[in-house]
Amino acid sequence: MFTGIVQAKGTVIATANGRFTIACPWDAASIVVGSSICCDGCCLTATSLAPDKNGAALTLDVSNETLGKTTLGSWHTGREINLERSLRAGDELGGHLVSGHVDGVANIEDVSPSGFSKIFKISVPDSLAKYIAPKGSVALDGVSLTVNEVSGSVFFVNLIPTTLDITTWGCRKRGDAVNIEVDLIARYVARLVGH
């Protein structure tokens, strides 16, 4: 379980048949093989690790299912990704409950300035639109965000400078695909009422 509060940015340093190695700023001694790491919104298992010049190099194995239903199939060497370690009992829950189980891929339709912030217009598959509500929560590339406004299968989020700086959203642009996880509560409420 995660919170959607990104703790670091990592960089893909190697890819091979669904196996990714990611350089991150965390001390290798602080990570245990088998740990769950949220990588651009996907809960992945650290299968091996080694000290790196600036922290650690994590190796993560990804199934064909995940490669086909998320943005991970397009990851390449040099790509920056958002990282979050799993939530521990007693940790601050600053975002919202995020499972790391990506529901699908959303697309950035537009980016526009709004004072110091940026407003992102996001489109989602019709099957996910029913879970998106104004002032509700959504995780996009692992970042917990508040939905400002919704129109059909399109919604808007407003990112402040701090979020743009400490996550990969500072370099996101129109046309980019992002991983989306809808709010857990919305998913279960929809199931209970038969939608």
Here the CATH number for the domain that contains residue 119 is 2.40.30.20
In the predicted model, is pLDDT for residue 51 greater than 80?
A: yes
> Is 98 within a domain?
no
Residue 163 φ then ψ, to 5°: -65, -40
State both tokens at 63: 């199934």
Measured CA to CA, the distance from residue 98 to residue 154 in angstroms comes to: 21
In the predicted model, is pLDDT for residue 95 greater than 90?
A: no
Question: H or E element: which one contains 61?
Answer: strand 55-61
> Is 163 within a domain?
yes
pLDDT of residue 91: 76
Angle formed at CA 18 by CA 16 and CA 22, multiple of 5 degrees:
70
* Average pLDDT score over residue span 79-89: 91
User: Beta strands of 86-161 (E only): which ranges?
Assistant: 104-114, 117-123, 137-140, 143-151, 154-159
Measured CA to CA, the distance from residue 57 to residue 138 in angstroms comes to: 29
Q: Domain containing 129: what range?
A: 104-192
Indicate whether 113 and 183 sit together in one domain. yes
Predicted model pTM: 0.94
pLDDT grade for 195, boundaries at 50, 70 and 90:
low
Q: Which residues of 22-45 are buried (b: 16+ CB within 10 A; e: fewer)?
A: bbbebeeeebeeeebbbbbbbbbe
Side chain identity at residue 145, one-letter code: L
> Is 2 within a domain?
no
In the predicted model, is pLDDT for residue 94 greater than 90?
A: no
Total tally of structural domains belonging to the chain: 2
Across 59-68, 71-80, 179-188, least confident range: 179-188
> Is 92 within a domain?
no
> Is 113 within a domain?
yes
Q: In the predicted model, what is the mean pLDDT of the chain?
A: 94
> Is 95 within a domain?
no
* Average pLDDT score over residue span 15-23: 95
Indicate whether 117 and 185 sit together in one domain. yes
> Is 90 within a domain?
no
